[in-house]
């Protein structure tokens, strides 16, 4: 699922192509993509794009008249930049957003249709879909700690819960925890002050590193191959490969639809996390599907 650095890269690429440009037409390849009826989709056509922003893991495109198109790519949704009036070819093509210079195409791999499009009105509309997680670059250490300790959760769950932290998911939570040298199953109510400092600093530095890298790439070419598995990552998606810090093999935890990668030497005192107690802990702490987790809303 595209996370904060990936969404930032998309926004960089879109700003160069569609900001201050008229949205001529929206074509749907799947009626199930659109999740709202008022305002109607036709209301955005012919209006000029005035803003592009991120709402959690969503991309919000604002047009004249305070209307917003909000895209949630979920797990397999991806964006592509094509020549003007490009055809919606194949069952994976869900929508086309036509601009004078080209068409923004939304595709979704696989048979499940999880990606969504909302048409919303004004700031109140945007707030209605914001899960409410804290923005790591808009808060301080105290605000970050307060958000993650509102409930006693594992660090992995707290970092990926959209009501707790905005924009972070499975991939970058693994990278943040590895950088901080903390166990994914450490409980938020048991962290020491110095561990909170490491976690907050690692969250900012890890996300900054990847945002800068992916934005730089997006300035050269549209990000056509957004993926959660990158060879430069320290642990995510690198099960069985050497940890770049200590050389030990990267371990993993599998539960339901979720997988966590970590280094036992660097993060868990050498303990491999694979026992019945762990399964019970995750069963109490973790939704069974990524879709269920992503759909959590602020109380």
Q: In tens digits, what is the pLDDT along the chain, a chain of 299 residues? A: 899 999 999 999 999 999 999 999 999 999 999 999 999 999 999 999 999 999 999 999 999 999 999 999 999 999 999 999 999 988 999 999 999 999 999 999 988 889 999 999 999 999 999 999 999 999 999 999 999 999 999 999 999 999 999 999 999 999 999 999 999 999 999 999 999 999 999 999 999 999 999 999 999 999 998 999 999 999 999 999 999 999 999 999 887 667 899 999 999 999 888 645 565 566 666 565 656 656 665 54
- Residues 178/267, Cβ–Cβ less than 8 Å: yes
Say what the pTM is. Answer: 0.92
Alpha helices in 221-268, H assignment, sequence order: 264-267
Distance of CA 152 to the CA centre of its chain: 23
Specify the pLDDT at position 111.
Answer: 80
Retrieve residue 282's tokens: 């995750």
pLDDT at residue 254, as a whole number: 81
Residue 273: alpha-carbon gap to chain centroid: 26
Terminal Cα-to-Cα distance of the chain (whole angstroms): 24
Cα-to-chain-centroid distance, residue 252: 21
Structural domains in the chain, CATH included, are 4-129 (3.20.190.10), 141-294 (1.10.8.50)
Query: Strand 25-28's sheet: what is its strand order?
Result: 25-28, 93-99, 102-108, 77-82
């Amino acid at each position: 699922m595209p996370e904060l650095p990936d969404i930032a890269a998309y926004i960089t690429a879109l700003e160069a192509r569609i900001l201050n440009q008229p949205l001529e037409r929206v074509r749907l390849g799947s009626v199930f993509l659109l999740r709202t009826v008022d305002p109607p989709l036709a209301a955005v056509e012919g209006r000029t794009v005035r803003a592009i922003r991120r709402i959690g893991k969503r991309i919000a495109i604002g047009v004249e008249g305070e209307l917003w198109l909000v895209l949630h790519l979920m797990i397999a949704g991806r964006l592509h930049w094509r020549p003007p009036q490009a055809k919606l070819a194949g069952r994976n093509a869900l929508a086309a957003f036509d601009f004078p210079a080209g068409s923004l195409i939304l595709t979704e791999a696989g048979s499940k249709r999880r990606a969504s499009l909302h048409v919303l009105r004004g700031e109140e509309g945007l707030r209605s879909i914001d899960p409410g997680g804290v923005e790591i670059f808009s808060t301080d250490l105290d605000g970050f700690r307060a958000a993650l300790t509102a409930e006693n959760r594992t660090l992995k769950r707290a970092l990926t819960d959209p009501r707790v932290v905005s924009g972070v998911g499975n991939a970058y939570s693994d990278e943040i925890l590895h950088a901080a040298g903390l166990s994914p199953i450490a409980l938020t109510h048991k962290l020491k002050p110095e561990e909170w400092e490491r976690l907050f600093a690692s969250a900012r530095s890890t996300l900054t590193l990847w945002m800068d890298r992916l934005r730089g790439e997006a300035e050269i070419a549209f990000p056509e191959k957004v993926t959660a598995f990158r060879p430069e990552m320290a642990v995510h998606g690198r099960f069985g490969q050497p940890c770049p810090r200590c050389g030990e093999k990267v371990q993993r935890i599998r539960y339901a639809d979720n997988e966590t990668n970590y280094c036992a030497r660097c993060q868990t005192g050498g303990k491999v996390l694979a026992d019945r107690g762990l399964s019970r802990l995750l069963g109490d702490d973790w939704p069974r599907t990524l879709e269920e987790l992503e759909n959590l809303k602020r109380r």
